[in-house]
């Protein structure tokens, strides 16, 4: 189960990881091919601005922060749906 705020954080953390892989000062013993691949992935990676645009257009998909009560209800509903799906399979 992934909630919109978890998805938002995951994208930010993945960008941070790719930037670290691409920087020899941060990760000195990473092979050149891996650095090049990380830089290639970052070339068209969504910016924070893009994430905020996605949030505005589709908060059910990606949202920087969720209200705690809404998050709890959303998590409960997703767990209930997943449980029902698993029981039907």
Predicted structure pTM score? 0.76
Quick one: pLDDT at residue 6? Answer: 92
Neighbours of 63 (CB within 10 A): 23
Q: Using the predicted structure, report yes or no on whether residue 49 has a pLDDT greater than 90.
A: yes
Quick one: pLDDT at residue 2? Answer: 84
Quick one: pLDDT at residue 69? Answer: 76
Reported confidence tier of residue 54, pLDDT bands at 50, 70, 90: very high
Q: Rg of the Cα trace of the chain?
A: 17
Whether the Cβ atoms of residue 41 and residue 11 lie closer than 8 Å to each other: no
Q: Rounded distance, CA 7 to CA 9, Å?
A: 5
- Distance separating the N- and C-terminal Cα atoms of the chain: 17
Whether the Cβ atoms of residue 41 and residue 19 lie closer than 8 Å to each other: no
Q: Using the predicted structure, report yes or no on whether residue 74 has a pLDDT greater than 90.
A: no
DSSP 89: -
DSSP 65: -
Query: DSSP 3-state assignment of 80?
Result: helix
Q: Using the predicted structure, report yes or no on whether residue 5 has a pLDDT greater than 80.
A: yes
């Amino acid at each position: 189960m992934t909630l919109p705020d978890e998805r938002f954080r995951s994208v930010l953390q993945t960008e941070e990881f790719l930037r670290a892989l691409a920087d020899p000062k941060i990760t000195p013993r990473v092979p050149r091919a891996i650095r090049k691949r990380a830089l290639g992935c970052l070339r068209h990676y969504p910016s924070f601005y893009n994430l905020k645009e996605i949030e505005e257009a589709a908060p059910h998909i990606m949202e920087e922060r969720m209200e705690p009560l809404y998050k709890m209800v959303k998590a409960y509903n997703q767990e209930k749906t997943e449980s029902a799906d698993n029981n039907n399979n």
